[in-house]
Amino acid sequence: MCGIVGVARLQSSQPWSLTPAIASRMVDSLRYRGPDGRGDWASPDQNCWLGHTRLAIIDRAAGHQPMANEDDSVWVTFNGEIYNHLDLQRELIAAGHRFRTHCDTEVLLHGYEQWGEEGLLSRIRGMYAFAIYDMRRPRPALFIARDRLGKKPLYYWSDGSLLLFASEIKALLVHPALQKRSVDLDALCQYLTLRYVPSPLTLFRDIRKLPGGHFLHFDLGAGPTQMSAQKPEPKRYWDVSFHRHDPEPSFDAALEKTDELLQDAVSKRLMSEVPLGAQLSGGVDSSLIVAHMERLRLAAGLPESVRTYAIGFDEPGFSELPYAKSVADRYHTRHHEITVGFDDFIDHFARLSWVYDEPITESSAIPTYLLCRFAKRDVTVMLTGEGGDELFAGYAKFAADRYSQWLDWLPPGLRFAALRAAAAAMPFGGRRARIAMESLSIADPAERYVSWFSAFDGAGLAELLTPELGKKLASGGAAARLRVELDRCDSPVPLDRMLYSDLHTWLVDNLLLKGDRMSMASGIEARMPFLDQALVEYAAGLPPQYKVNGRTTKFLLKRLAEKYIPRETIYRKKVGFTVPLNPWFRGPLAPLVRELLLGERSLARGYYRPDVLRRVVEDHLDGRVERSRSIWSLLALEIWHRLFVDDDGTEAASDRLRGTMLALIGREPGSLKVKAS
């Protein structure tokens, strides 16, 4: 697992201006993604420069990058793992290719030579973002690609004559072309609506995410006329289909096949030359991963038990550590726990906001980092349960949204008014019920789906924003973005369409971003067996009643879990990885919230109506309306502005902000104090 970065000259008239100092700084900005090595290469034709930082997992002695083919005519910089690289290597050797390493990176080079761009992408299985520069063509070409589900990030910027790309935005910001940067207001409205920025947008104007399952091809050194005609757009090379399996499997057959595919996915992700472990929450998904890791360990006759890691909070009611411990005891793992308190959380908030590059969409990102950092003492690879909810419909919204059809007989205006009035009458602690009623009040599927995510109901956000941003909000950008995904799904079934949209937006642009940033900031490679291609494609083709049965979400996966963990663990009320924001906002974080959100700098940005913003904040702090999700989104956005708009966006900027934040809450800078066992 690594960091990649590159610069390409698209037009022959564009002078090559990348200095060694800038190139070095671009690589250094990604050093935590690859603490085991760094390298860069500039093409002799001055059309391309590639940089790389390495976290060594496979062929640690020989896998240095950027890497070239035998005659140095094709070069690659690569972040990720190709799980079927040994099978592909054997096929390529049979076709006459000679390998110098056992590293999966070299498979990309020879596979590209043998099969071309789309042929290579159709064969590789894993998580990846890479760039290949080919000097064999009459006009050199650059090819950048991202894995099918977007597990590994890839960002790019271009003005038509120059192209920059990298694993993280901060590497792009080092380049002089991006010293003047501004906020994308469309992306800002979508962030405030959805709590994350959906691809291809970022909060930085003109910096884009390459969507999962897409690639870009550039012919370099072209003249202005040729480039204006080229205007390459991302091209999709894979998508998931929700067509039903034919014949449709029985429930028991689907249960058995899912178990088989999950075990195979876990097995592939145990490939490593460094120690590995698993994140264990005590929930269904991570428990199934650990169960299969133990089964595979026993089958292979390996002596060492699986290492597992769990995290909890010192606030009552915000910890699942006992459930994780029960699973660990059942499988005799070498289990480790950490307990996080408020001081641990606030001490890392500013730096991790810098690591994130965009607002920290999920407050659980910070404890995720603390867990990974703790586990780094023992392991370099960790398996996680990410993706199970998006494949098998694990969220309450999937069950609740089915009630929408029962409300379709009501006139839209009456439906909206009645349910919104009921939502407004909910007590302070009724956040989930209020969200459900607010969402079900909306008849339009795309707009209703937006509401399930939103930090604000539509009326509340429209009231909060200034007229300029209100116009952008009224254009329906977020609903239009999700409607694209809902309509692209090849199934008419509402649950299928919601799951399809989640895979292409919520999962990739929110959860996988969180997992990548926090694990890589700790020097940990996170692997996600549930997002194995074969398992994803099989789960998508299952009928909806296998996923949601009455009020039971993730029905098939819970039934599968009965083979491996106690029923009381499976069917207990789900706590989830929930940070105790509510008590913290009304307690030690209150001075920080008031200063950062209601202070002069925040109000001067021109985004909010000051009186409405004050009401949103004070309603929560005074215990009238539970708005912790809204306040977190606003706070994360303001911290992002202070790092990347008000300051220079460097790690030093995060140190300065950290000092300011700690002073506001009366804390002194200190070391991490997590309790471990």
Task: Summarize pLDDT for 13-43 with one digit per residue, the tens.
Answer: 888 889 999 999 999 999 999 888 899 999 9
The CA–CA distances, whole Å, from 572 to 282, 320, 559, 575, 666 equal 11, 11, 14, 9, 39
- The pLDDT tens digits of the residues spanning 155-186 come to 999 999 999 999 999 999 999 999 888 999 99
- The pLDDT tens digits of the residues spanning 560-610 come to 999 999 888 898 776 556 789 988 999 999 999 999 999 999 999 999 999
Q: What is the DSSP-derived secondary structure letter of residue 61?
A: T
Q: Is the pTM of this model over 0.85?
A: yes
Look at residue 229 and tell me whether its pLDDT is greater than 50: no
Mean pLDDT on 663-667: 88
DSSP output for 292-319: HHHHHHHHHT--SPPEEEEEEESSTT--
Q: Residue 577: its pLDDT value, please?
A: 63
Q: Residue 84: its pLDDT value, please?
A: 95
3 state SS of 466: coil
Q: Residue 412: its pLDDT value, please?
A: 74
111-116-119-123 Cα dihedral, nearest 10 degrees: 20
CA angle 89, 95, 99 (to 5 degrees): 45
Residue 276, judged by CB atoms within 10 A of its CB (0-12, 13-18, 19+), counts as: buried
Mean pLDDT on 405-421: 73
Q: Residue 445: its pLDDT value, please?
A: 81
Look at residue 197 and tell me whether its pLDDT is greater than 50: yes
Look at residue 660 and tell me whether its pLDDT is greater than 80: yes
Mean pLDDT value across the chain: 90
- The pLDDT tens digits of the residues spanning 245-271 come to 999 999 999 999 999 999 999 999 998
Residue 586, judged by CB atoms within 10 A of its CB (0-12, 13-18, 19+), counts as: middle
Q: Residue 623: its pLDDT value, please?
A: 85
3 state SS of 626: coil
Look at residue 64 and tell me whether its pLDDT is greater than 70: yes
Beta bridge partners of 383: 278, 527
Q: 460 pLDDT band (50/70/90 cuts)?
A: confident
Q: How far apart are CA 386 and CA 279, in angstroms?
A: 10
Token pair belonging to 374:
């703790």
661-663-668-670 Cα dihedral, nearest 10 degrees: 10
Q: Which of 673, 374, 388, 386 is CA-nearest to residue 524?
A: 374
Q: Residue 95: its pLDDT value, please?
A: 96
Query: Helices 251-268 and 533-540 meet at what angle, rounded to 10?
Result: 160
Give the chain's domains with CATH numbers: 2-236 (3.60.20.10), 251-393+502-568 (3.40.50.620)
Q: Residue 431: its pLDDT value, please?
A: 65
Look at residue 535 and tell me whether its pLDDT is greater than 60: yes
Q: Residue 674: its pLDDT value, please?
A: 46
